[in-house]
């Protein structure tokens, strides 16, 4: 068995050797240009390629050290107990079996401080976000507000500073452009957002040593029971290892598609919603070493990150976005985001029993409710027929049928690694013309197909 020092030594040797070969290749590469302009372009391109590769190698070296430490802990446990720990039992969440895990038990206590981390850049309208957070915050001690600002925008910085000690203002120090592949130059903003998230979350969990955090962006307005919701759901996140986040967002939360008269309804979802979400420090321990250079939210939705786990999400969203300005240039906002219903009624979640959201209990009640519902064709729903049936189910059996039915019924039709927005075990729950509809796969569904994207 390799010792820890030997493993680290080999990792470092491989790291140095790879970079030596890379530099040798770049220096000895024959010129393929005729004039000085081509020479300049080639040098810039090679420099960008080298920087990208060095960044990759840096991540690789960090992983070598991380896994070396983990292996050392595992060896110590073997020496103390005389045997290897038993393998984690596979869960039946519908994710790919090879990526399912049982995370380590959280270090946090149910009454831990839950800081709200506001990710800010150059929107001076962050005032709207902060005003609502401060207005609805029940406790300054339980819910400190940390505003992490990127971009160096002076007007936005002045707005944040105007709140004095009501919020903590931290500034992302690296404002440089990021070398990106030529075909990604238009996505520079997404690279900077991912860099900012990594820095901000590292400050929260590494520097400030918090055990959990609620993440919002500077263009989100929160509901009156935003804090109540997260405070009540936090113990559930601690207790159920099949959960990895609590989100304030319903991707299918348009006003006509939610039961606004029942704002207490909560669901499990296999789709990472974001847009106001709670995570534990243990999850950041897992994600930080492999954090992506761009498109972090879609990266979170990949099976390798989700690993069979789910999030809690509400029927009626506890956040809404007012930020038309952004890296997506407002297209998604105009088409969809501005129509999301923000809950306006306070629900005393901390006085409710939320144990029904634990995996086993949830599936015992939710799945029969779905598959005992009468099956109806999309055409009948659109024609408002068979109203006497009440709640109904529309069944899909392929990627194309899901997308066609979703589009016909007004549901978000995109899939990420096969997972539909707001879906659980492939089931999407919503209202259509005032009645509950479950857009669902067959009852013998066995898991998500990542090629459905």
User: Active-site residue numbers?
Assistant: 297
Report the C-alpha gap between 97 and 283 in whole angstroms: 20
The DSSP annotation for 275-327 comes to: SSEEEEHHHHHHHGGG--SS-HHHHHTSHHHHTT-EEEEESSBSEEE----ST
Phi first, then psi: what are they for 438, rounded to 5°?
Answer: -110, 115
Phi first, then psi: what are they for 300, rounded to 5°?
Answer: -60, -25
- Please report, for residues 158, 341, 374, 420, the alpha-carbon distance to residue 155 in angstroms, rounded to integers and kept in the order given: 5, 30, 56, 39
Q: Is 364 exposed, middle or buried (0-12, 13-18, 19+ CB in 10 A)?
A: exposed
Which residue is associated with the tokens 């979400």?
277
Rounding to the nearest 10 degrees, give the CA dihedral for residues 148, 239, 349, 138: -40
The DSSP annotation for 350-378 comes to: GGS--GGGSHHHHHHHHHHHHHTSPB--H
Contact 147, 124 (CB under 8 A): no
Report the C-alpha gap between 341 and 223 in whole angstroms: 10
Report the C-alpha gap between 271 and 312 in whole angstroms: 10
Contact 293, 196 (CB under 8 A): no
């Amino acid at each position: 068995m390799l010792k820890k020092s030997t493993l680290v030594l080999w990792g470092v040797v491989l790291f140095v050797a790879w970079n030596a070969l890379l530099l040798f290749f770049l220096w000895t590469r024959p010129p393929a240009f005729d004039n000085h302009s081509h020479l300049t372009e080639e040098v810039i391109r090679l420099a960008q390629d080298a920087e990208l590769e060095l960044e990759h190698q840096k991540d690789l070296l960090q992983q070598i050290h991380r896994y070396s430490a983990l292996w050392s802990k595992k060896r110590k446990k073997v020496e103390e107990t005389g045997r290897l720990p038993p393998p984690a039992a596979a869960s039946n969440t519908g994710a790919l079996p090879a990526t399912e895990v049982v995370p380590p038990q959280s270090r946090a206590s149910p009454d831990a401080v839950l800081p709200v981390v506001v990710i800010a850049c150059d929107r001076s309208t962050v005032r709207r976000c902060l005003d609502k957070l401060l207005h609805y915050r029940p406790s300054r001690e339980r819910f400190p507000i940390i505003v992490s600002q990127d971009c160096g925008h002076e007007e936005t910085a002045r707005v944040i500073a105007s709140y004095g000690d009501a919020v903590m203002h931290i500034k992302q120090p690296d404002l440089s452009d990021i070398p990106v592949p030529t075909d990604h130059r238009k996505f520079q903003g997404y690279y900077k957002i991912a860099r900012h998230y990594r820095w901000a979350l590292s400050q929260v969990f590494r520097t400030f040593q918090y055990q959990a955090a609620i993440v919002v962006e500077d263009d989100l307005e929160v509901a009156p029971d935003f804090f109540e919701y997260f405070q009540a759901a936090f113990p559930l996140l601690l207790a159920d290892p099949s959960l990895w986040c609590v989100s304030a967002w319903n991707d299918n939360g348009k006003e006509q598609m939610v039961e606004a008269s029942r704002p207490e309804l909560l669901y499990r979802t296999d789709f990472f919603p974001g847009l106001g979400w709670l995570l534990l420090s243990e999850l950041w321990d897992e994600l930080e070493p492999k954090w992506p250079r761009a498109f972090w939210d879609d990266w979170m939705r990949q099976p390798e990150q989700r690993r069979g786990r789910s999030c809690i999400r509400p029927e009626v969203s506890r956040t809404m976005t007012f930020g038309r300005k952004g890296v997506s240039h407002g297209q998604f906002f105009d088409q969809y985001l501005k129509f999301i219903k923000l809950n306006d009624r306070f629900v005393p979640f901390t006085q409710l029993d939320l144990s029904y959201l634990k995996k086993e209990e949830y599936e015992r009640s939710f799945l029969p409710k779905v598959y005992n519902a009468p099956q109806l064709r999309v055409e009948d729903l659109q024609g408002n027929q068979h109203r006497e049936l009440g709640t109904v189910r529309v069944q899909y059996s392929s990627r194309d049928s899901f997308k066609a039915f979703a589009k016909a019924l007004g549901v978000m039709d995109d899939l990420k690694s096969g997972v539909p927005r707001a879906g659980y075990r492939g089931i999407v729950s919503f209202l259509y013309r005032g009645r509950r509809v479950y857009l669902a796969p067959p009852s013998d569904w066995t898991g998500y197909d990542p090629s459905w994207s």
